[in-house]
A and B are shown apart, each in its own frame.
Chain A
Amino acid sequence: MNVKFTHYVIAAATLLFSSNVFAAAPIKIGALFAVTGPAAFLGEPERNSAKMVIDEINKAGGVKGRKLELIVYDTAGDATKAVQLATKLIKDDKVVAIIGPSTTGETMAVIPVAEKEQIPLISCSAGSKITDPIKKWVFKTAQNDALAVGRIYEYLQKTKQTSVSILTVSDGFGASGREQLKVQAAKYGITVVSDDTYGPKDTDMTAQLTKIRGTHSQAIICWGTNPGPAVIAKNARQLGIKTPLFMSHGVSSKKFIELAGEAAEGIKLPSGKVVVADLLANSDQQKKPLMAFVKDYQKHYKAEGDHFGGHAWDAVMLIRHAVENGADTATGIRDQLEKIKGFAGIGGSFNYSAQDHAGLAKDAFVLVEIKNKDWVIVK
């Protein structure tokens, strides 16, 4: 009797266990990040953050009892490679969703693959053309450049400054910013009086700034990622330019303050809320996730969590949200993503809909000023 009972227990346990294994097959999520190469400053924190969150979710028992499995490939910032790896993720690894790629160029190249294979793609790059026009399977977590431009122009309008000079870097990021700066100007009653560019590896921008000084504009807006803007800040100081200098969200990291040193003082820029997480009002919905992200990242990688990592964090959390709502297939996740409303993440408050796959509004950015080597929120 006793022995028989034990047998039953074992049989039952085995059955339970095996069925559990079956049900708990992990949900496979693919990720394409530019971990090496010129865009490594994006890809590395993205990979780190994605791994960190997935580990944490799994440690806490997964989502609805199912673990998440992250498969990360390094695209090295190469669009061709990104396409090959996307195909590999879908055909070989059989993932149900893809996070990334890190840059707009790669994302545009991967979009046709995701659309054809019907796998949801949550891009971590900022280009507005990713979700405009809307594509059924493509979402993004990085804030549109348009929102950052809007933030600056709004401030200029409020302070009654109407003429600006723009100085943008001649790469994808700068080109997109330049386009938005020119397109949105009229809406805020602003005229762009001079339009200059510089190369991403340029080491001296005094020529452009001298030209800008001659235009007597009321503000200078520079659009680029490190180290160019730091050179520009130093050059502007050298030339004794007193015109207010605005930067893009591309330099909203401590690194910029470190590079530009004294010359960074007084520069204003739109920034995601990560860098000012501790300065946010407690009523801000994003404060809790932001503080959690910053602390976690510090704990795991001994470095400050940044916006780029935040884009990957958001992407994983959005997928988790979708899985929590009962989705475990590509189609299910896509449909659930589209229904997400008021999800407070790192990049902002996400409200996806059938008409909006970018999900963020202007409040995703705050305007910050650099004072005493630190950030201050401009009211």
Chain B
Amino acid sequence: MQFDQILQYTLSGLSTGAIYALIGIGFSIIYNATGIINFAQGEFVMLGGLLTLSCLELLALPLWAAVPCAIAVSTVVGILFERLAIRPLKQPTPINLVIITIGGSILIRGLAMLVWGKDTHAIPAFSGDVPISVGGATILPQHLWILAITLVTICINKIYFYHTISGKAMRACSYNRRAAGLVGIDVRRMVLFSFIISSAMGAVAGIIVAPLTMTAYDVGVMLGLKGFCAAIIGGMSSGLSTVIGGLLLGVLESLGAGLISSGYKDAIAFIILLLILFIRPQGLFGKADSERV
């Protein structure tokens, strides 16, 4: 097995993994604020890609304008989703909420199918597709975009959660919703914020990956699941461990497909998911929670 092959596997894995990480963080943010797994997260990824396509083709916007537009519209969908589906719920038990997010994801996917059709669509790369050679392996400019945008998004996230009042308030909610409410934090508003942030992040992931993988009304399902895996590996944290979880997943998938067998690529992701859930349910890097009695 040659070095350049391993390098290629790793580089491909890292760029796929960065996408998983972005989606995974979206899962974690909502989980931390509300205690639910938002299974509609993948649909925001799909919306990001398809809305960019519409902005580019129907509105004939240039790419730099189409991207913020698509993120904005996806975010509005996220807000509507929270307002119309999550907030009105009389008995917000986790199981009810989870089922609602699954229903929401099916609804969004169905609407997307009606709007954009069942075909796959291609989006032009941000800055051409002349391959760049890196020590025997090759990557595309788009891969650099993915890695850079993921990095920037994560940094912004970090600053928001640790250095702003509303970010700190959201963290407070994730530690203890009731206590956060008692000290005067509007928990419901924080839930809305969490949906805004994660739908925007999902859309970003969908947009930057679309030139490579193309997009269709149903891309959200698999990407959403992989993002969920990343979040589980990272112990549902909205920080670095989910990022590492995503990258790890991407690299293992790629190495597995290259070195073992391509048939087991998806199996690898889900075996990791199961192993983590069985052996380290607190995530690969998390400390076990002590049960509060």
Contacts and interface: CB of A to CB of B under 8 A. Distances in A.
B54 interface: no
B201 interface: no
B140 interface: yes
B221 A201 contact: yes
Interface string B61-84: 000000000000000000000000
Interface in B1-26: 2, 5, 8-9, 12-13, 15-16
Contacts of B218: 201
Given A198-B265, A203-B219, 4 more contacts: A203-B213, A206-B8, A207-B254, A208-B257
Contacts of B221: 201
A208 B211 CA distance: 20
The 5 closest A-B CB pairs, nearest first, are: A203-B213, A207-B257, A227-B120, A207-B258, A206-B12
Interface string A59-83: 0000000000000000000000000
B129 A203 contact: no
Interface residues of B, number: 38
Interface residues of A, number: 34
A197 B260 CA distance: 12
A238 B214 contact: no
B16 A198 contact: no
Contacts of A170: 263
Interface stretch (A22-30, A184-192, A253-261, A331-339): A253-261
27 contacts: A170-B263, A196-B261, A199-B266, A201-B221, A203-B219, A203-B222, A204-B15, A204-B16, A204-B254, A206-B12, A207-B13, A207-B257, A210-B12, A210-B258, A211-B262, A227-B120, A227-B213, A227-B214, A230-B120, A234-B129, A237-B129, A255-B119, A259-B121, A259-B214, A260-B122, A261-B122, A262-B129
B54 to A, nearest CB: 16
A247 to B, nearest CB: 15
Interface in A168-214: 170, 196-199, 201-204, 206-208, 210-211, 214
Given A199-B265, A238-B138, A40 B118 contact: yes
A237 B118 CA distance: 26
Interface in A116-169: 167
Nearest to A44: B118
A340 B181 CA distance: 79
Contact of A41 (B13, B118, B138, B257): B118
A210 B131 CA distance: 14
Nearest to A196: B262
A41 B16 CA distance: 28
A238 B255 CA distance: 18
B240 interface: no
A263 B241 CA distance: 36
Contacts of B16: 203-204
A234 B138 CA distance: 12
B221 to A, nearest CB: 7
Contact of A238 (B122, B131, B222, B258): B131
Interface in A256-280: 258-262
A226 to B, nearest CB: 5
